[in-house]
Amino acid sequence: MLPITCSSLHFPAPLLIIIISCLGLIVILNHLISLFKWIFHTCFRPETDLAGTYGSWALVTGATDGIGKAMAHELARKGLNLILVSRTAKKLEMVACEIRDKHPGTRIETIQVDFSGEFSAGLRRITEVAMELDLGVLINNVGVTYPGAMFFHEVEEEVWRNLVRVNIESTTRVTKAVLCGMLQRKRGAIVNIGSGAGVVAPSHPLFTIYAATKAYVHQFSRSLNMEYGQHGIHVQCQVPLYVATKMVSRVASIKQNSLFIPTPEGYARAAIRAIGYEPISTPYWAHSIQWCFARLIPDPLLDAWRLSIGMRRRNYIKGQKN
């Protein structure tokens, strides 16, 4: 009996055309399904009743600026009481007053914590309120990055140590501080703010440690969601790209919002709507489009593009210093 080889297989031309057409149809249908899902998720999917599903209180770290402040306002608009956490007592009180003026019925607690230093005392207070109150939602938003684009050997040790403390250690320890209460109540939502730097691009040169800390947040969130989903606790990593915040303005020279760069308020509205759904989410619609196109670019080209952007920013900062 002769072995069957590829060269011995012959398909009639019409059959071959049918096979290729079917494969093409499957690919097209797959993309259409993804498109319809994206439209539904972006425009028509109902929001989760956060207070009813998870609890009446939300804790937000980094709550006095940018995304954190905007999310605190949005959570108050949704009827949740707030625990605001930040390092500056005066700014905490200012934000609390702003929210009370707009949403008079909101109860607000403030906790002063500097996550770049020794924060054990603040963490104990977070643990206490997480047990005392019906804490249903945690927004781990606090984060820092480099002062500007630079090669790894140029990053001072204190700078990268601070990145690790704030972006990794604070997220990990605050999450653990609230988990016990959530486990007792058998419900809760933990939202960790990641970054496209740690997920979307295959690499993020000249911001290497920052990207690595955000990659940790991504994997940390995915694994926790698998561990605690069975206990009624939903863990989500949100992956924003550029948002018009002070931090982005400093490191990326972005001065104002645009179609693909939302204001913190615009991002926060989309972010709150996404809570309770996918474990990894890019809530803002224009960011998800950017991510989709980034996936189509070969990794070497995307890496080279990221490096060229980093070099331009590095040279721009060096020129300002000179």
- With respect to residue 258, please indicate whether it lies within any of the assigned structural domains: yes
In single-letter form, the type of residue at position 184 comes to Q
Q: How do residues 201-227 score in pLDDT, each as one tens digit? A: 778 999 999 999 999 999 999 999 999
126 within a domain of the structure (yes/no): yes
| Residue 4 confidence (pLDDT) | 43
Partnered with residue 110 across adjacent β-strands are 84
Which one is predicted more confidently, 6 or 180? Answer: 180
pLDDT of residue 254: 81
Q: Mean pLDDT over residues 104-110, rounded?
A: 96
Residue 318 reports pLDDT greater than 70: no
Instruction: Say if 4 falls within a structural domain.
Output: no
Residues whose CB is less than 8 angstroms from the CB of residue 306 and which lie 6 or more positions away in sequence, other chains included? 201, 203, 204, 205
Domain that holds residue 202: 53-321
What is the spatial order of strands in the sheet that 188-193 belongs to?
Answer: 108-112, 81-86, 57-61, 135-140, 188-193, 233-238, 280-281
| Tokens matching residue 318 | 């060096």
Q: Which of 16, 6, 74 is nearest to 272 (CA)?
A: 74
Segment 234-288, tens digit of pLDDT: 999 999 999 999 888 878 778 789 999 999 999 999 999 999 999 999 999 999 9
Q: Which of 146, 210, 216, 284 is catalytic?
A: 210
Token digits of residue 293: 């196109």
Torsion angle in degrees (nearest 10) through CA of 269, 190, 107, 47: 40
Per-residue b/e over 170-189, b at no fewer than 16 CB within 10 Å?
A: bbbbbbebbbebbeebebbb
Total residues belonging to the chain: 322
**pLDDT of amino acid 2:** 46
In a domain, 221, yes or no: yes
C-alpha distances in Å from residue 4, one per residue of 1, 9, 91, 240: 9, 7, 76, 53
* Residue 9 pLDDT: 54
Name which of 1-15, 76-90, 186-200, 259-273 the model is least confident about: 1-15
Distance from C-alpha of 69 to C-alpha of 75, rounded to nearest angstrom: 10
The CA-based angle 83-87-88, given to 5 degrees, is 95
- Mean pLDDT rounded to a whole number for the chain: 91
CATH number of the domain that residue 185 is part of: 3.40.50.720
The answer to whether residues 58 and 50 touch, using CB atoms and an 8 Å cutoff, is yes
Rounded to two decimals, the pTM is 0.89
Q: Determine, yes or no, domain membership for 186.
A: yes
Domain-located, residue 1: no
The secondary structure of 53-113 as a DSSP string is HT-SEEEEESTTSHHHHHHHHHHHHTT-EEEEEES-HHHHHHHHHHHHHH-TT--EEEEE-
Residue 290 has pLDDT above 70, yes or no: yes
Residue of 167 and 314 predicted with greater confidence: 167
Active site residue 210: yes
- Predicted confidence at residue 140, as pLDDT, reads 98
| Higher pLDDT, residue 13 or 110 | 110
Instruction: Give the tokens for residue 276.
Output: 């309770």
Give a yes or no: residue 34 inside a domain.
Answer: no
* Domains identified in the chain, total number: 1
> How confident is the model at residue 20, as a pLDDT?
86
Give Cβ neighbours of residue 83 (< 8 Å, ≥ 6 apart): 57, 58, 59, 60, 108, 109, 110, 111, 126, 129, 133, 135
pLDDT digits (tens, 9 = 90+) for 141-151: 999 999 889 99
Annotate 276-311 with b (16+ C-beta within 10 A) or e (fewer): beebebbbbebbbebbeeeeeeeeeebbeebeeebe
Residue 6 has pLDDT above 50, yes or no: no
Domain-embedded: residue 20: no
In angstroms, how far is the first alpha carbon of the chain from the final one?
A: 80
Give the C-alpha separation, 214 to 212, whole Å: 5
Asked whether the beta carbons of 57 and 133 are under 8 A apart, the reply is yes
Dihedral sign, CA of 274, 278, 280, 286? negative
